[in-house]
Chain A
Amino acid sequence: MDEILLQILNGLDKGGAYALIALGLTLTFGTLGVVNFAHGALFMLGAFVAVSVQNILTISERVRDESITFFEAYKEVPYLEIWWGETGTMIIDYVVPISILVAIPVMLLIGVAMERGLIKHFYKRTHAEQILVTFGLAIVLQEIVKANFGANPIPTPAPDIVSGSAPVGAWLGLSENLVYPYWRMIYLAFAAVIIFGVFAFLRFTTFGMVVRAGMADRETVGLLGINVQRRFTIVFGLAAVVAGLAGVMYTPILPPDYHMGMDFLVLSFVVVVVGGMGSLEGAVLAGFLLGILQSFASMNEVKQILPGIDQVIIYLVAVVVLLVRPRGLLGREGVMED
């Protein structure tokens, strides 16, 4: 029972990350009709916003280790700690939450710049060309990050107060072995809030209504005198913010490295396809579904019966879903079909 509960939590947590990335991917695809292979890079850039904020907050006075003479070895004491003592330590400790505030404008800017500077020139080109150019962009962004931050993962811990595990079992009157990291629960709640926020924005605002109308029939909305293009640019920025925030929040779980976006990209495309191209609800549903399935497939009991199933389950489910429902779980006829 404990094991099943833990795997459900794992699946929801993993699904939260998949859903957040797939949500942005679907928004871009649904509004602009662009297959954006650089979307994973936006997730990675978000994580590196957190790394950059951490680097800034921990600018340090270097105390030279005099016992080492062959090169400069030193112990670093952040200026924030020297100046403000415990308050400085606390600010550094909260680097990830602080990074969220920084990531919103930064990622919005990156998203808008990406759309205006490059993507808009490829709206009328084939999907193959869009894939090539955005994939190329992703590689360029990766290499820039690698050149500046190196190839190794960089630790970006969660605040101390939530760095351990919550006694979920004790809370529910179950086994004491049933524990789950606080930060993962926070991530899940955060994903839920962001997903709800995006849906509310699209559902309850005039801006959202126009975007949804544009997603359904871009030409008609344009004929009504509404500048759909400008709104779609903002949607691209919004998708970048969602991906970036997912990246920032994921840093304590997965120490960021330049390749982390690519690792998530393929899975996110599978999530979008399984959910149904252009369906936001589908992306979220498929994200959680595939996350949970992946977690259960990794259980020893399952792997004993079907060795290696954990490595193929997502793709297996994608094949089955596409065979049974070619438009994905919630895909509709006529949407994203020429």
Chain B
Amino acid sequence: MSDKEKFGTLSRRGFLKASVAAAAAGAAPMIFVRNANAFVNEPKGGTVTLGFNVPQTGAYADEGADELRAYKLAVKHLNGEGDGGMLNTMNPKSLKGNGILGKKVAYVTGDTQTKSDAARSSAKRMVEKDGALMITGGSSSGVAVAVQAYCQEAGVIFMAGLTHSNDTTGKDRRKHGFRHFFNTEMSGAALAPILEKEMGKDRTAYHLTADYNWGWSQEGSIKKYTEALGWQTKAAVRTPLGAGDFSQYITPVLNSGADVLVLNHYGKDMVNSLTQAVQFGLRDKQVNGKDFQIVVPLFSRLMAQGAGENIKGIYGSTNWNWSLQDEGSQAFVKSFGAEYGFPPSQAAHTCYVQALQYADACERAGTFNPCGVIEALEGHKFDGMGNGPTEYRAEDHQAFKDVLVVKGNEAPSSQFDLLKIVEVTPRSKVEYAADMEGYAGNLGSCNA
């Protein structure tokens, strides 16, 4: 018997039927979920499940671990355990310390691996298999944009973690996604006046930019604001993500005539490019009669440790720092420090705030229905959570608040004292129009 006789032939019609059947089978979990409930994963029992999607492996695993610590602390506080942390300082507050809407908070975790496809898969698994009602976390803009789009399709809320690209709440904004973390536009607006004060108006900048979504966004924003100061941009060179050795990109800076190097790099790339730029003597150089300067627009304390001494005196911006003295920050640092023995990172802070704000929105809305929660979050103003008065702008779901300009601490008093706050830039100085050119997007509608 030939193979053809044994298995038969696959006709075009047969193939189409099989494809439709496969697609229906693939979509089945979501169809059942929607039909059985008023909205996706409507909590029926005494618990509500949240999905924490953080990098547990890969280059940002340490940052992911800190995010997870913050989420676990948030769950504890929401359930009325521990010292309450920022539940004691947030204002307004509808949460009662008895879970959310009287249901005990449980959680599941996923590993984004800092890869968009892996992050989307883990979010999908948490929604479809584990019954997660809300997805939150992440340490990359590529991941945030991908997971946010998935959450919109799936009909669940996405509370973004650390994502700094304008696109997350710009052209890729979604009705179901909210961001507390700041963005590159805000970094540019906050940094420019300090750069003017410290370095003057007559400067020539050379950009090295990580060649992906966030890098382009960061480069665009810094160029926009520094050129408005009167700075010239000598060159903006794209470098491959994870290049390791940046020497071939740094050496052209030496003869370029530039007197400022802007490193639009984050994480390991930032550590490597900064370390190597210092080795090439850039910080000891005099160009155009001025001291050569290096700027790192997005600082992370966790990552800064890798650059060691090289970080000292370098200017950048950050969303939050544990050394802030306001009541909310102190409450969070105290709670986190008592639980884990060290201070939280900016990633941990933003994730903790996002979890609490989601929970509070459910309480205010009186429902877990995403449409109700979105309404409660849109335009919501709050305070006492570490960044001064904050608002989730209704038009793009971006949180507007104070931004910190920092510099590498030249005389640290401890192993955690790496960043010195130079200025707390108020919200009014970093605000922009939601439909600004190159930033506008379409939120779409609620999908529940």
Please give the residue numbers on chain A whose beta carbons come within 8 Å of chain B beta carbons, in ascending order. 2-3, 6-7, 10-11, 13-14, 17, 65, 67-68, 70-76, 146, 150-155, 157, 163-165, 175, 177-181, 183-184, 252-255, 257, 259-260, 263-264, 294-295, 298-300, 303, 310-311
Contacts and interface: CB of A to CB of B under 8 A. Distances in A.
Contact of A253 (B245, B248, B284, B307): B245
8 contacts: A6-B251, A7-B251, A151-B60, A153-B271, A155-B309, A179-B281, A253-B275, A311-B240
Contacts of B249: 298
B414 A295 contact: no
Interface in B277-297: 279-281, 284
A295 to B, nearest CB: 4
A295 B250 CA distance: 11
B59 A257 contact: yes
Given A70-B333, A70-B338, A74-B414, A310 B272 contact: no
Contact of A153 (B211, B306, B338): B306
Interface of B: 58-62, 211, 235, 237, 240, 242, 244-245, 247-249, 251-252, 254-255, 268, 271-272, 275-276, 279-281, 284, 302-303, 305-310, 330, 333-334, 336-338, 340-343, 412-417
Given A71-B333, A178-B254, A257-B59, 12 more contacts: A2-B254, A3-B255, A7-B251, A65-B413, A70-B336, A71-B338, A155-B275, A155-B307, A254-B275, A255-B271, A259-B59, A311-B211
A179 B415 CA distance: 33
Given A71-B342, A73-B417, A254 B309 contact: no
Nearest to A297: B248
Given A70-B334, A254-B245, A151 B305 contact: no
Contacts of B279: 163-165, 181, 183-184, 252-253
Given A179-B281, A255-B308, A2 B255 contact: yes
Contacts of A299: 248, 252
A165 B280 contact: yes
Contact of B255 (A155, A177, A260): A177
A91 to B, nearest CB: 18
Contacts, number: 143
Nearest to B281: A165
Contacts of A153: 268, 271-272, 306
A20 to B, nearest CB: 14
Contact of A75 (B211, B305, B413): B413
A255 B275 contact: yes
Nearest to B252: A300
Nearest to B304: A152
B247 A71 contact: no
A68 B307 contact: no
A14 B414 contact: no
A151 B59 contact: yes
A178 B60 CA distance: 36
A70 B240 contact: no
B58 A151 contact: yes
Contact of B235 (A179, A257, A263, A300): A300
Contacts of B58: 151
A68 B343 CA distance: 10
B290 to A, nearest CB: 15
Contacts of A10: 247-248, 251
Contacts of A74: 414-415
Contacts of B276: 253
B255 A73 contact: no
A67 B413 contact: yes
Contacts of B280: 165, 179-181
Contacts of A157: 308-309
A14 B245 contact: yes
Nearest to B251: A6
A258 to B, nearest CB: 9
Residue of A73, A152, A264 with highest tally of chain B CB at under 10 A: A152
Contacts of A146: 61
